[in-house]
Amino acid sequence: QLIADALVEGRPPEVTDRLDDASWRRVMRVNLDGTFHVLRAAVRVMRPAGAGAIVVIGSSSAFDTPVGYPHYSASKAGVHALSQAVAKEVIASGIRVNVVAPGPTETGMAARTPAALRSGFADPRVRPYATPGEIADIALFLASDAAANLVGAVLLANGGRFTA
């Protein structure tokens, strides 16, 4: 709400100096620590089998860092780096790790985004918010044999908002 209020009032958001340790750690625990735990569990199952494909959900926010979300952007950049490091390690065991990095997507979290922020994401030159199904299609592709040559890739799925 701090960010939305600042946009409505025409002033820059002031987030970093107000961001408490608990909020920082919560985002890191959910996004980065959670990804580590899932990757580790998947590798433990797939390595003995000598094959597998893991698709991690990152975020375009790791590249196009939105103002007011330093903790989210940092956590997702960490997710990308973690996934790429694990991808290099486990490819020798026949396991592929790749990342889909969505931009704005119609999720429960997006539904709670204040209108002032949602309108900031609206851009007539690009596709609107992705649907969960569109992001799932990309994840399914990354998990499929059609993506057999993709290892450590981060696929931007942001509707043309930017390229990296």
Phi, psi dihedrals of residue 157, rounded to the nearest 5°:
-130, 65
Catalytic residue among 35, 46, 72, 142: 72
Amino acid at 158: N
In contact, 5 and 15? CB cutoff 8 Å? no
Amino acid at 77: A
Whole-number Cα distances in Å, 145 to 1, 21, 44: 43, 42, 21
DSSP E strand boundaries for the chain: 52-57, 95-102, 154-157
Catalytic residue at 69? no
Per the DSSP assignment, residues forming a β-bridge with 157 are: 102
Q: What distance in Å separates the CA atoms of residue 73 and residue 123, rounded to the nearest whole number? A: 21
Active site residues: 72
